[in-house]
Amino acid sequence: MACFIIAEAGVNHNGSPELALQLVDAAAAAGADAVKFQTFRTDQVITRGTEKAEYQKTHTGNGDQYDMIRALELDEAAHERIAERCVHRGIEFMSTPFDEWATDLLLRLGMRRIKIASGELTHRPFIEQLARRGLPLILSTGMASMEEVRRSVDWLRTCHTANDQPDWLTVLHCTSNYPALPGDVNLRAMQSLAHELRVPVGYSDHTLGIEVSLAAVALGATVIEKHFTLDRSLPGPDHQASLDPAQLRELVRATRAVESALGDGIKQPTTSELPVRALVRRSAFTRRALPANSPINADNVSFLRPGDGIGPEHWEELQVRQTARALPAGHRLTWQDLG
């Protein structure tokens, strides 16, 4: 199954519906499977005076987290336009809900799966409400311990109305820093989640570049989520830690290449190798002219390319044979030459 690539627009629209539509276009042009936003009412998420994270202070100036997030809200009409644009461009519409109003809106707009943000992992009443909607869930696990993730998955499993389906839940490993340093990623934790929870896993990537995402694909990620922006120089909390459209296209291309390279795991020669095999392996050739009844030994026979005759893997069997007739020097042996 192909890795599901989510182009995370998030709040990189800076509160502009027009910019949000351009992000949809860019994600579709890059070949992403889905483009995802965030749907919230600031009053339902943050109290006034909440301090910004350090990376947010760096890129958004003065003010508290409430003011910053309030400026990034999109209203219902904007969401409708975004969902319509996704249909028009042939890309799946997603947005992370942060309250029940947002969930109702997004499901009315046809959203087919629900993403649960890392910060909501411990928000039991809310995520249980999301589970009761019965749609496939994607749970990010930034900042969480294995015990916290296990507990949240138990809540979701208890409440989900279709938890017997193989895709009812995908758990994403995540490091919630912007940007995350590769040394802080601990990508093997994604495999630990798969082993512990027995559900599909993926990776929500906050590092710069695409290398760590590709490593996650190679390690078995079924979902990759990656922030992107139209312009990394724009003001806002996430632009500088995001891919630009060209990088997003490269992520999609490289992901598909890695998937193709992973193959089926069966060790066997590929069709493309077979002509090469005959050229680079070796066959038995006479070192000199040999009369009939000459022994086959290292003095009389050597192994040279090409490998379209009797190969050296048959050396033990060859040593008990003799020539059935006289053979010239440099002759490629066949079984018919031997008695």
Residue where a domain terminates, one of 262, 283, 318: 262
27/126 same-domain check: yes
- Domain, as residue range, for 179: 4-262
H-type alpha helices, 109-202 = 124-131, 146-159, 188-197
Residue where a domain terminates, one of 233, 262, 291: 262
251/282 same-domain check: no
| 83-106: b (≥16 Cβ within 10 Å) or e | bebbeebebbbbbbbbbeebbebb
Q: What pLDDT, on a 0 to 100 scale, did the predictor assign at position 121?
A: 99
123/99 same-domain check: yes
Among candidates 78, 80, 55, 79, which has minimal Cα distance to 68?
A: 55
- Close Cβ partners of 143 (under 8 Å, ≥ 6 residues apart): 118, 119, 121, 176
Per-residue pLDDT of the chain (339 residues; tens, 9 = 90+): 899 999 999 999 999 999 999 999 999 999 999 999 999 999 999 999 888 777 676 667 678 889 899 999 999 999 999 999 999 999 999 999 999 999 999 999 999 999 999 999 999 999 999 999 999 999 999 999 999 999 999 999 999 999 999 999 999 999 999 999 999 999 999 999 999 999 999 999 999 999 999 999 999 999 999 999 999 999 999 999 999 999 999 999 999 999 999 999 999 999 999 999 999 999 999 999 999 999 999 999 999 999 999 999 999 999 999 999 999 999 999 999 999
80/164 same-domain check: yes
94/12 same-domain check: yes
In whole angstroms, what is the distance from residue 107 CA to residue 63 CA? 33
300/224 same-domain check: no
Q: What pLDDT, on a 0 to 100 scale, did the predictor assign at position 57?
A: 66
CATH number of the domain bearing residue 275: 3.90.1210.10
Count of domains observed in the chain: 2
200/331 same-domain check: no
Residue where a domain terminates, one of 208, 239, 262: 262
Q: What pLDDT, on a 0 to 100 scale, did the predictor assign at position 258?
A: 99
171/61 same-domain check: yes
CATH number of the domain bearing residue 248: 3.20.20.70
Q: What pLDDT, on a 0 to 100 scale, did the predictor assign at position 219?
A: 98
44/95 same-domain check: yes
How much is the pTM? 0.91
Number of neighbours of residue 269 by Cβ within 10 angstroms = 9
Among candidates 5, 15, 24, which has minimal Cα distance to 85?
A: 24
Q: At what angle do helices 100-108 and 124-131 cross, to 10 degrees?
A: 20
Write out the two tokens for 122: 């411990």
238/280 same-domain check: no
240/279 same-domain check: no
Q: What pLDDT, on a 0 to 100 scale, did the predictor assign at position 59?
A: 65
88/154 same-domain check: yes
